[in-house]
Structure 1
Amino acid sequence: MKKLQKIQEVITFINETHLAFLYVSQEDCSVCHVLKPKLIELLKNYPKIDLREVEADKVKEISAEYLIFSAPTLLFFVDGKEYLREGKFVQFKKLANSIEQIYSFKESKM
């Protein structure tokens, strides 16, 4: 998963990517490290979703720009608009169902 290093890279990614999934983590977050491979595996089912990671402790502006108060935070954007937000303790079955609904609906419109 490619990491975004600057807030402008994050903004550009979200605004220029049809289906943008942002994984906000922190280096010292054990939950983040456990969740990351599960998320990568889940998103393999959705090849049109573009996934990027941002380390909140390295890109500090991410917190203010997207109102992120804890890690991990998962954000799913469609054409620059936030459709899904999950944080800290993610229920993967619920997350998978939400992604499926959004993905199926948005792709049927294309």
Structure 2
Amino acid sequence: MELKNVTLEEAKDGIEHNRLYFLYLYGTNCSVCHALLPQVEDVLKDFPQITQEKLNVHEIPEAAGAFSVFTIPVLLLYVNGKESIREARFVNIESFRSSLKRIVTLLD
């Protein structure tokens, strides 16, 4: 499933109104961002209970400040409105998968 692009307001709303909310922050000309995205989407297929969206910080620069982003890509998972996972730049996909699994299992 491809992640849906959202605005900063939609992302903030998603964090507030979803028990589990994942946000992928990326940039237009970021080769690492574009290489990592399909891997992240593949992992997220196993977690349909997580609301999953993405936001382009080059198109919405104020998002970088709102989420304290200094490098991209950034993977954020919020649980009940609180940041629970933050991975940036070079992400170990298997470590990310096991972190998601642990959190989702604890909440079941």
TM over 0.5: yes
Q: Which residue of 2 aligns with 1:61?
A: 62
Runs of 5+ unmatched residues, structure 1:
none
- Per-residue CA shift, 1:64-87, capped at 9, x if unaligned? 111011110000001111000000
Q: How far 1:55 sits from its partner (Å)?
A: 0.2
- Per-residue CA shift, 1:38-62, capped at 9, x if unaligned? 1111011111011100000111111
Q: Which residue of 1 aligns with 2:22?
A: 21
Runs of 5+ unmatched residues, structure 2:
none
Q: Which residue of 2 aligns with 1:96?
A: 97
Q: Which residue of 2 aligns with 1:2?
A: 4
Q: Which residue of 1 aligns with 2:50?
A: 49
* Counterparts of 2:89 and 2:62, CA distance in 1: 19
* Counterparts of 2:103 and 2:63, CA distance in 1: 24
Q: Which residue of 2 aligns with 1:12?
A: 13
* Counterparts of 1:9 and 1:87, CA distance in 2: 21
Q: How far 1:9 sits from its partner (Å)?
A: 1.3
Q: Which residue of 2 aligns with 1:79?
A: 80
Instruction: Give RMSD over aligned pairs.
Output: 0.8
1:97 partner amino acid: S
Secondary structure at the aligned position of 2:47 is classed as coil
* Counterparts of 1:24 and 1:96, CA distance in 2: 18
Identity, in percent, stands at: 31
* Counterparts of 2:61 and 2:11, CA distance in 1: 12
Runs of 4+ in 1 over 3 A off after TM superposition: none
